Amino acid sequence: MTNVMHRDFTERKPLPAPNSDFYQLVELLNADELALVKKVRAYMETKVAPIINKYWSDDQFPFELLPSFKELNIGGLGYEGYGCAGGSQKQFGFVAMELARIDASMCTFWGVHSGLAMGSIYLDGSEEQKQKWLPPMARFEKIGCFGLTEPLVGSGSSGGLTTTATRDGDDWNLTGQKRWIGNAPWCDMSIIWARDVADNQVKGFIVENKTTPGFSVEKIEHKIALKVVQNGVITMQDCRVPEANRLQGGNSFRDTARVLRMTRYMVGWASTGCQMGAYETALKYAQERLQFGKPIASFQLVQDLLAKMLGNVTACQCLMARLAQLDDDGKLRDEHASLAKAFCTSRMRETVAWGRELLGGNGIVADYNAARFFADAEALYSYEGTYQMQNLIVGKAITGLSACI
């Protein structure tokens, strides 16, 4: 970045290195948890950060990273047994935060596979299904996606899925479309949520993408956010899926919602990590960038923005740390996860915008990272249920009255 610093500026004492853990939350981790979090941080800083802007600009997924990503051993983090990485929800959250601190797309790739796809099987699958699918998924030998949203049904998916599941002997026939499905254009298997025409309930199915006739995926082009994640439109025309691949514990949207509760919790951590990355990027830039003969970080109005960014980051970290305790104690409720998702993603939008602002013109160029955090935040704000839908869930819990039709 020195090419944009118009002259050398030497301070009398070295400036502090940017550190987005202002309240030392890292001290909440035990030695094993800390070792994993440090390993993930080192990986993201050395392997991902140097190449990710190129992939982001090119709308491509960095397949070259997959072999080393697998070695982090974070497949099925937070789940016990079945070859999964296990560990506390606190550790799961800190890992999500570390991934997103460097790149929200890599965090999302992992969140879709390990959280949404594996989580659906872990929470709603039979013992046999868990034994069959989770070990290879934990090893990243089979990569999954999660198909709930449809072209015409997004926020209203609890009540109105149009993809149908029709029982036919020992098989099911799935017909319909899914939109926005992360990893879908290249992954191995999909969790597809469809409405059983017999009882009108939402059920989940494990569909093998590459071998199921009638199953096709088209990549969504021209996104402005999470460009590294490959999202697809899935079309299913009379796809035959065996009853053995119907999630045996997924019998209504309530079972889908259990998965979403867990992954919305994760988005709270991811959006906190995204802000941390934006804050550290902006602070480093402000310490180095000279205007009027001084680092811009020495100006009062710039320090005000940096302090507000750090306030947002720290508030979200503390909120998520408490939520992790509730989750580890088995007390996490839908409305808890929704409040965190809504609050942290809205603070994130503010933080990444201030970060972009602090880089001036360079804030809109991908090479300087701030633009990527800024754009990616928009996807996190809307996916896994929009801000409005999360607040409607909170609103129902605190008033006792549903505002949804």
Ligand X SMILES: Cc1cc2nc3c(=O)[nH]c(=O)nc-3n(C[C@H](O)[C@H](O)[C@H](O)COP(=O)(O)OP(=O)(O)OC[C@H]3O[C@@H](n4cnc5c(N)ncnc54)[C@H](O)[C@@H]3O)c2cc1C
Binding-site ranges for ligand X (CB under 6 A): 112, 145-149, 154-155, 180-182, 226, 231, 379, 382-386, 388-389, 404
360: left (phi over 0), alpha (psi -120 to 50) or beta: left
To 5 degrees, how large is the angle CA 378–CA 58–CA 138?
70
Query: Which of residues 23 and 387 has its CB atom nearest to ligand X in the complex?
Result: 387
Query: Which of residues 362 and 386 has its CB atom nearest to ligand X in the complex?
Result: 386
Which residue number is nearest to ligand X in terms of Cβ?
154
**Three-state secondary structure call for residue 348:** helix
Helix (H) or strand (E) holding 218: strand 215-219
Query: Which of residues 155 and 298 has its CB atom nearest to ligand X in the complex?
Result: 155
Contact 297, 224 (CB under 8 A): no
Query: Which of residues 112 and 174 has its CB atom nearest to ligand X in the complex?
Result: 112
Query: Which of residues 255 and 384 has its CB atom nearest to ligand X in the complex?
Result: 384
What residue type is assigned to position 76 of the chain?
Answer: G
Query: Which of residues 47 and 341 has its CB atom nearest to ligand X in the complex?
Result: 341
In the complex, what is the shortest distance from the CB of residue 260 to ligand X, in angstroms, rounded to a whole number? 9
Query: Which of residues 15 and 404 has its CB atom nearest to ligand X in the complex?
Result: 404
Contact 167, 136 (CB under 8 A): no
In the complex, what is the shortest distance from the CB of residue 231 to ligand X, in angstroms, rounded to a whole number? 5
In the complex, what is the shortest distance from the CB of residue 148 to ligand X, in angstroms, rounded to a whole number? 3
In the complex, what is the shortest distance from the CB of residue 105 to ligand X, in angstroms, rounded to a whole number? 9
In the complex, what is the shortest distance from the CB of residue 301 to ligand X, in angstroms, rounded to a whole number? 32
The token pair at 10 is 């030497």
Instruction: Give backbone dihedrals phi and psi of 126, rounded to 5 degrees, phi first.
Output: -75, 170
In the complex, what is the shortest distance from the CB of residue 389 to ligand X, in angstroms, rounded to a whole number? 6
Contact 309, 275 (CB under 8 A): yes
In the complex, what is the shortest distance from the CB of residue 58 to ligand X, in angstroms, rounded to a whole number? 17
Q: How many angstroms separate the CA atoms of 181 and 147, rounded? A: 6
Kindly give, in sequence order, each residue whose CB lies less than 8 Å from that of residue 83, ignoring residues fewer than 6 positions away. Answer: 76, 134, 135, 138, 139
Q: How many angstroms separate the CA atoms of 57 and 327, rounded? A: 37
